[in-house]
Amino acid sequence: MKFKIDYQSNTLVDQVEESILDYIKRNKLVPGDSLPNEMALTTEIGVSRNVLREALSRLRMLGIIQSRTNRGIIIQEPSLFTGFEKVIEPHLLSESTIIELMKLRIVLEIGLTDLLFKHLNDNYISELERIVLSHEAVNYNLTLEQETEFHNKLYQITGSEFLISFQKIIHPVFVYAKNNYDNYFAPTNERLRAEKKLITHKDLFNLIKARDMEGYRMAIKLHLATYSDFIEKKTEK
């Protein structure tokens, strides 16, 4: 069976976790395959059952294994975002990390343009129009939830579960940024408005409705200029 443990580094639980992962890789186990039972694992690895169970608990939290009655410990396909989702608490993140996540959002929202237009249909256009009209009804004095509603729909239209999941995970970061950095954002918005370069959701929608992909690509860059300017100001210090 051959489980490898390096007692010279990290904690014993860390080493048991890494050993089990190494075993899965070396034996090319795939979702649905079984690991040896707990008794066999404790004997082969040479650790107590408590240490083993803590290591297995970590792997369950990551979604790599699950326990099934009469089948034991089963390998499963993990969610790529399970661990990421657990640590995205904006108050625990440094400003530099928040800035990196902002950069990532800008790249994603510009980059998903092709997917967005590829999957666009009349139903999606109607849904976007409903969102934009509801925002006009409150004179664009939007809550945070309303501000993100339009962008959430853009991610959904791409049809990419990966993008949709990632957007949900990083959403709290942008709520935090809105609440804490609005004194940086407001002057940029005023400047863009004065220069007649402020791109609203209605502007983006009109380009989507006209199926003007390249026009939209340029417009979404301007729409995200608030974040781009904030990043530039913070990183030039």
User: DSSP string covering 84-149, please?
Assistant: HHHH--GGGS-HHHHHHHHHHHHHHHHHTHHHHHHH--HHHHHHHHHHHHHHHHTTT---HHHHHH
What's 155's domain CATH number? 1.20.120
**What per-residue confidence (pLDDT) applies to 214?**
97
Is the Cα torsion angle 137, 140, 144, 147 positive or negative in sign? positive
Same domain (yes/no): 119, 49: no
SS3 of the chain: helix, strand, coil, percent, to 5:
70, 5, 25
Minimal CA–CA distance to 132: which of 144, 120, 149, 145?
149
49 lies in which domain range?
A: 12-75
Residue 3 maps to a domain = no
Residue 42 maps to a domain = yes
**What per-residue confidence (pLDDT) applies to 1?**
58
Number of domains in the chain: 2
3-state secondary structure of 237: coil
What's 57's domain CATH number? 1.10.10.10
**What per-residue confidence (pLDDT) applies to 7?**
55
Same domain (yes/no): 113, 223: yes
Same domain (yes/no): 115, 226: yes
Same domain (yes/no): 177, 147: yes
**What per-residue confidence (pLDDT) applies to 69?**
78
pLDDT digits (tens, 9 = 90+) for 57-113: 999 988 899 988 778 899 999 887 776 777 788 888 899 999 999 999 999 999 999
Minimal CA–CA distance to 1: which of 56, 44, 32?
44
Same domain (yes/no): 87, 67: no
**What per-residue confidence (pLDDT) applies to 13?**
94
Same domain (yes/no): 170, 91: yes
Residue 120 maps to a domain = yes
For the chain, which residues score pLDDT lower than 50? none
Residue 1 maps to a domain = no
